[in-house]
Amino acid sequence: MAERVVIIGSGPAGWTAAIYAARANLEPFVVQGSESQENWDLGRPPLGQLAITTEVENFPGFPAGDLTSYLDDSIDEKTRKYMAPHQKEGVSGPELMELMRQQAHNFGTRSVLEDVTEIDLSSRPFKMKTSGGTEIEAHSVILATGARANYLGLDSEKKFKNAGVSACAVCDGALPRFRDKPLVVVGGGDSAMEESTYLAKYASQVYVVHRRDELRASKIMADRALANEKIEVKWSTVVDEILGDEENGVTGVRLRSTKDESQTEEIEASGYFAAIGHTPNTDFLGGQLETTDKGYVVWTVPFRTNTSVEGVFAAGDVADDNYRQAVTAAGTGCMAALDAERWLAEQGIE
C-alpha cells in the first residue's frame, strides 16, 4: 500500500516535517540517508549538516546551561555512546538532531537509514527504491535532503574539520577559539563578504582569500566588507595548505599566488572558513522537477513549499540557498508537512 507521506532526508527540515505529519496521523516514513562513508566524506550524513558540527548556540530553545540530565532521560544509553559529548552550553549539533529524530519517532514516524537510489515522479503514486532494496510507493513526497558546503578538497580541510575549519561563520564564528585571533575566509562571493564581515566582530583580523582580482559579490556587500578595517583581501591568491597540529588545530595557512605560482606566503590564523558555495543534494532526482541553475529545488508557489511536480514538496536547504539555517529549515519542514496534509485532503487521500 502506498505511503501517504514519504520524507527524504533527516536534517532539521525532515524531522520537523515528520513531527507535524505524524501528529496529523499521516504515519510518515522517513528515508534518512545511509551511514555510508561516501555520505560522510561528502558532508551529507544522516541527520544532516548539524551532525558534523559542534555547539549550536542559535537554535531557539537551547539556552546555555547544563542540559545533561534532560538529555540522559530522553536518549537511550546505546545511542548516547555514539554521540559527541554534551557541551554544557546550549546543545551540540548531533544532540539536537538525535532529539529531533527521537521526537519524530515518539509520534509514530517510521524510518530507514538508506539512500533513495531511484525515484519516479512521472506518475502517482510516486515510486522509489532505496540502497537497502526497499521499494516504496508514496502519494506525496517531501524532499528534505539539504545541501552540502563546498570545500577546496584539501586533505588538511578534512583533518582540521571542527578544529578550526568550518564552512559556516554564522554557526561557528563566535566560538572561543576564533575570538581575537586572525582568521581566513576563502571565496569572493556574497557569502565570503557576509562571513568575513560577521567574523570581523570577533576576530583580530580577517583575510579574505580570493582567486581573482575582482570580487563576484554584490557591490553593496563588497563595499561593506572592504570598508571594514579588520578585513584584508588577499587578491589573486588561493589556499595551498592549511597548517596546524593535533593539539591546536588550525594555526595558519599557506597561500599561493594565481598570477605567479612560485610565490607563496604563510599567514597565522586560528580559523579557516570555506565560503565557496554549497551544492544541494538533488542528484538522485535526475532532473525530474524544476531546479535553479545551481540545482536547488524551486518553490513554485509564493509562501508555499510546492514544487513543479504536484504532490512533491521541498523543505530546508535543498530549496534554500539564501538563509540556510537550522531554524529556517525546521520552519519550512513544518510548512511542507502542512502543505502535504492539505494537498492529500484535497485529493481525498486519508
**Alpha-carbon gap, residue 208 to 193, rounded angstroms:** 8
Among positions 129, 211, 224, 304, the unique one binding ligand NAP when judged by CB under 6 A: 211
Specify which residues 309 forms β-bridges with: none
Pairing mode, strands 205-209 and 231-234 = parallel
Instruction: Tell the smallest beta-carbon distance from residue 238 to ligand NAP (Å).
Output: 6
Instruction: Tell the smallest beta-carbon distance from residue 189 to ligand NAP (Å).
Output: 2
3-class state of residue 92 by DSSP: strand
Binding flag, residue 157, ligand NAP (CB under 6 A): no
**Alpha-carbon gap, residue 250 to 161, rounded angstroms:** 9
Binding flag, residue 47, ligand NAP (CB under 6 A): no
Q: Which stretch binds ligand NAP (CB under 6 A): 30-38, 175-183, 264-272, 275-283?
A: 275-283
Among positions 136, 255, 276, 340, the unique one binding ligand NAP when judged by CB under 6 A: 276
Binding flag, residue 173, ligand NAP (CB under 6 A): no
Binding flag, residue 187, ligand NAP (CB under 6 A): yes
Specify which residues 56 forms β-bridges with: 91
**Which of residues 101 and 210 has its CB atom nearest to ligand NAP in the complex?**
210
Among positions 88, 212, 259, 342, the unique one binding ligand NAP when judged by CB under 6 A: 212
| Furthest CA-CA distance within the chain | 68
* Burial zone of 27 (CB within 10 Å; 0-12 exposed, 13-18 middle, 19+ buried): middle
- Residue (of 5, 6, 13) closest to 334 by Cα position: 13
Catalytic residue among 41, 120, 171, 190: 171
Show the cell assigned to 179: 575570538
**Alpha-carbon gap, residue 290 to 257, rounded angstroms:** 39
**How many residues make contact with ligand NAP (CB under 6 A)?**
17
Binding flag, residue 194, ligand NAP (CB under 6 A): yes
Give the residues lining the site for ligand NAP (CB under 6 A). 152, 187-192, 194, 211-212, 216, 238, 275-277, 321-322
Enumerate the active-site residues.
168, 171-172
